[in-house]
Amino acid sequence: MNDDVKSLMPKADMTRRGFVSAAVLATGYAMAVSPAAAGAISTDSQGLAAGAVMIPTPGGHPMPAYAAMPAGKGPFPTILVIQEIFGVHEHIRDVCRRFAKLGYLAVAPELYFRQGDPSVLTDIPTILSTIVARVPDAQVLSDLDAAAAWAAANGGDAERLGVTGFCWGGRAVWLYAAHNPKLKAAVAWYGRLVGNATPETPKQPVDVAAGLMAPVLGLYGGADQGIPQDSVEKMKAAVKLAPVKVDMVVYPDAPHAFHADYRPSYREAPARDGWARALSWFKANGV
Which is the catalytic residue, given 94, 137, 143, 224? 224
pLDDT digits 0-9 by tens, 156-211 = 999 999 999 999 999 999 999 999 999 999 999 999 999 999 999 999 999 999 99
Helix (H, G, I), strand (E, B) or coil at 175: helix
Per-residue pLDDT at 31:
87
Which residue in 89, 96, 137, 167 is the catalytic one? Answer: 167
Average pLDDT, the chain: 91
Short-list 21, 111, 34, CA closest to 66: 111
Query: CA-to-CA distance for 211 and 160, rounded, in angstroms?
Result: 21
Question: Residue type at 90?
Answer: E
Catalytic residue chosen out of the listed positions 117, 256, 259, 261: 256
Confirm whether pTM is higher than 0.95.
no
Is there a catalytic annotation at residue 256? yes
The Cα-based distances of 33 to 85, 121, 230, 264 in angstroms read 11, 10, 29, 10
Looking at the DSSP bridge assignments, the partners of residue 65 are 53, 109
Q: pLDDT band for position 131 (50/70/90)?
A: very high
Q: Report the C-alpha gap between 234 and 220 in whole angstroms.
A: 13
Give the pLDDT band (50/70/90) at residue 27.
low
Range of lowest pLDDT (113-127, 162-176, 218-232, 251-265): 113-127
**Are 4 and 154 spatial neighbours (Cβ–Cβ below 8 Å)?**
yes
